[in-house]
Structure 1
């Protein structure tokens, strides 16, 4: 898996806007006093902040430069300082970015080196239609995340097309194949979002919703966790259980989603509601607003069911996935929290077909 190793003398002086790259690529920070560049893993980009380097840090980088390494590097410098630029080049850093540059430029430079982190590598057993659908949806999610971080317009039309493509792929190839392909994605964040989208559009179609309604629900599913773009991937894709502090941060993602989406004219109101309220429960015990009953729209209730079912049936490093029947046993114990009428319809759909069955990828 690709990753970025960021080295600095003092991260208190590291450009805060550049720190956002941790939400788009797996990132690890090290201070020079703890640096050991000999143990850098393959497919790693070394990003060095050249601010306030002293003789000891220069010696570390000089030794690294002379080691014959093949690690791609990127240096953060003050381009107005001739000394700073020449020093970086003398130490083998020719790919440079100014400390005052926009985040979007850093993102493009890193993507040129490491490639698109969102792109999955899918086994050959999947059809061309499934592969294209998963790849373009991953691209849409990545574009949305980058736009949210840079302030650029959100690619809502592209995402709407993604939602339509998911529906078309599921209609011809089956949801089982779609979910199996999605589960091959290396990022849990992308995997979960696409699983929720697949369940949501399939459920919407089974309820007899119009194509416009299906697209809107699919769009809401794709954007429902957008607020997680403000949370480092090291937390979102953590292989073990989250700490209490990490869980508290993750639970803020609905508010983060609202902050990103609410002011965007290109985003339908229903999509904002789904992103903000998909953790609300009918009895008022959910978050972030503690809504009750009819305060929660049906679009949100449907998404909540898809979201919970996806979370229960997907495999994580720290837990086994539940079977469809096991998942529904858990969900029906949430009587009073979930819309039971919708849940019964969802269960009938899942258990009467191959709808909910996922062909798990082999694990070592």
Structure 2
């Protein structure tokens, strides 16, 4: 049964959908585009640190209006890691006044990128710091005991990133580090050691001027104490070593850039949380040899495609062990090298 009359049914049959007038929807009808604003008015700043999604950015560095602003990440950068040391393009309120919030809309090209992975089988990299040109590896002569292979990993990561490595040994009043340091014979490595329990702060500071230096080390080695001696206003928390486990307590919970000042100039100290492991799953195995320049010279006589492992045929390194031409220190370093190469399957 129809409730429509015959004339009305004829109108329905002649109905044409194209005659309907639709209300325009500007958002729905606008063509989608990936073009982003140019932000030509963006200010360039140094990322000093990040805390719960808010970035501290130094604007007008070394200029008359130098100031630190708080900034958030733009939506288009949600998949881009922003880390301490990055040179960021910042828009919005860059006055630095209390309660203001700027926005990071881009990053300048990085000159270096220090990374690590959770372990050697993990190809997912964790970005630690950008644009550093030096790494100071801090180890203790004792309490906790120095781990040569952990230092090796730091060196590999630094050289893979194109960063110059330095080494500082603390707590030499507790133990003589001479035997430990022989492990690094043959490397072009500047080493600082404490005397009567005091680190050579002035000598280390001279190496920091004009550079961005990332400080790394096992928990409890005295890294934060050294940072505080170089940058007194830093007030980085310091901890102690557990007498039972021999492990240090994590004191630096975040990576932060701190300005080092001296009469001869200034530089940047980038303090990082202490770590007990440093995965190299992201590193190109070929770059591992950069940390073993003494062994790399011998390896030049290896056949093409040599794995340099203990079972490698005609390997010049293994032949040097067999004929006794490789020193005891060299053999220890070769063992360390081969352990790392084994991790990458040669």
- Bin of the TM-score, shorter chain as denominator length: under 0.3
Give the TM-score, by structure 2 length.
Answer: 0.27
Which has more helix, going by share of residues? Answer: 1
Taking structure 1 as the reference length, what is the TM-score of the superposition?
A: 0.26
Bigger-Rg structure (1/2) = 2
Between structures 1 and 2, the one with greater strand share: 2
